[in-house]
Amino acid sequence: MVKIVGIAGSLRPDAYSQIALAIAAQRVQALGAQVEILDLRQMQLPFCDGGTEYPHYPDVKKLQDTVADADGLILVSPEYHGSISGVLKNTLDLMSFDQLSGKVAGFITILGGQSNSNALNDLRIILRWVHAWSIPEQIAIGQAWQAFTPEGKLTDEKLSKRFDQFAHSLVTNTRKLRSVD
């Protein structure tokens, strides 16, 4: 069975990044994959200092072990100042090739204004650097304050279809590239 880990790079209590991750996870699970969400709001992660071990932070080992055991990733980030959030970048920096190489990754970004692909491109560069595979489908949700209902549902049918395509691509490509059912 395909194992996917989802991580949203926002610490806000009602973050649109978390809502988008939940929607993507549901769509991926509906296709038969197992999804585990690592909620950074519940984890104690230090700033990366370039080391490989953080004995005073057991959540670093949990992060590393969970990602190492996965076949793929869903990474969601708000776009801050034209790039990914510092929270998500730090989380990725706490891992290495040991955890990320060979993983299949899908990316979603959340923007308050017009959608663009800055953060998506940065995620592709970061994941390529650690030898992960990026799926071609990606989602940038501009004007996120309009994209979701108060109950956390998508307001736009076209965007909903993009989530379906994203999920299908992630599961299908993970099965192919990781040789799992």
Provide the CATH number for the domain around residue 31.
Answer: 3.40.50.360
Q: What is the pLDDT of residues 124-158, one digit of tens each?
A: 999 999 999 999 999 999 999 999 999 999 999 99
Cα(122)–Cα(7) distance, integer angstroms: 16
Mean per-residue pLDDT, 76-83: 96
Confidence at residue 106, expressed as pLDDT on a 0 to 100 scale: 98
Average confidence score pLDDT of the chain: 97
How many structural domains does the chain have? 1
pTM over 0.85: yes
The two three-digit tokens of residue 143, written as one number? 């004007």
Mean per-residue pLDDT, 40-55: 95
Could you tell me the residue range of the domain that residue 110 belongs to?
3-178
Cα(98)–Cα(138) distance, integer angstroms: 25
Confidence at residue 151, expressed as pLDDT on a 0 to 100 scale: 94
137-154 burial, b at 16+ Cβ within 10 Å, e below that, comes to bbbbbeebeebbeeeeeb
